[in-house]
């Protein structure tokens, strides 16, 4: 029997699930696998980044018990930081746009974080500016800066990538992931390409705010991806292809995933799944193994009308 000492010890090692019913529904000739990150303790991939960023700051002597951690986030990183850092003796202040789901705000507060909301129309840029303002006003404070912190990508290079490689016995041909901070696709993609250089890495972004594709930033409904700028953490050189997804496409994919596979995943997961299905339909991908990363649970979007 395996007994864990605390909740953070079960971060990672999330299951890789073959989406057989999705394959059948869309008559796919490729094999489609979901990296189900909502099996992490707080229900998202951001548990990995939160742990790595806090641990890295401690190891470098930047923070210690009693410090205040301030982070601008669309939600999931804030939840992960609160769950990991508050029990370690830190105060956590999360700054986020007021357009994010009510469940995210409630979860952050439940884990002990203070939540500061900024105008939704200002996007993540507004939240980042407010976080900097709070840091300047708060002694002994630290901003992990998920958009620029290498430890974010390192979390996925050292855990997510190796897990996918191990679970597929090295037989992964395509990796599909949405781009929020860029940490997940950078770390995972970098590892997979080091192991198998011809692995295709596909980035997913909102059609309404396709900045990676060279278009202007704009408001969109795909919470968790599409920050409106190109993050410092993102290594664009590992990306082979960019897929844009409409809001309604992502919402429908979430519903399909729930009804066909019994997996309740969030909006950005739906967006990634849309791109993965499009990729799996291509004749050149027949017989290939396509892994799509599903970042979080649909349970934190129930108030949005997603389902």
**Active-site option among 35, 46, 51, 288:** 46
256 included as an active-site residue: no
**Largest interatomic CA distance in the chain:** 58
Catalytic one of 74, 268, 269, 297: 268
Q: Is 46 a catalytic residue?
A: yes
Provide the CB-side half-sphere exposure for 86 (13 A, CA): 17
Active site (catalytic) residues? 46, 268
């Amino acid at each position: 029997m395996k007994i864990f000492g605390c909740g953070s010890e079960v971060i990672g090692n999330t299951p890789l699930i073959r989406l057989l019913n999705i394959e059948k529904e869309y008559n796919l000739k490729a094999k489609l696998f979901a990296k189900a990150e909502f099996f992490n303790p707080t229900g998202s991939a951001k548990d990995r980044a939160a742990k790595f960023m806090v641990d890295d700051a401690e190891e470098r002597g930047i923070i210690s018990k009693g410090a205040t951690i301030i982070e601008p986030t669309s939600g999931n990183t804030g939840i992960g930081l609160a769950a990991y850092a508050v029990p370690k003796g830190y105060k956590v202040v999360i700054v986020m746009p007021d357009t994010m789901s009510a469940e995210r705000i409630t979860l952050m507060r439940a884990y002990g974080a203070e939540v500061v909301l900024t105008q939704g129309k200002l996007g993540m840029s507004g939240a980042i500016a407010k976080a900097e303002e709070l840091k300047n006003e708060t002694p002994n404070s630290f901003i992990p800066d998920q958009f620029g912190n290498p430890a974010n990508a390192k979390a996925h290079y050292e855990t997510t990538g190796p897990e996918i490689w191990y679970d597929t016995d090295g037989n992964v041909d395509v990796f599909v992931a949405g781009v929020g901070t860029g940490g997940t696709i950078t770390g995972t993609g970098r590892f997979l390409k080091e192991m198998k250089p011809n692995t295709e890495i596909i980035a997913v972004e909102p059609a309404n705010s396709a900045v990676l594709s060279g278009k202007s930033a704009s408001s969109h409904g795909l919470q968790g991806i599409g920050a409106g700028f190109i993050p410092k953490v993102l290594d664009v050189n590992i990306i082979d292809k960019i897929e844009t997804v409409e809001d309604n496409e992502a919402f429908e994919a979430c519903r399909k995933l729930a009804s066909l596979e019994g997996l309740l995943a969030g909006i950005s997961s739906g967006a990634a799944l849309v791109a993965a299905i499009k990729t799996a339909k291509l004749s050149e991908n027949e017989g290939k193994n396509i892994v799509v990363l599903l970042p979080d649970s649909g349970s934190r979007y129930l108030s949005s009308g997603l389902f």
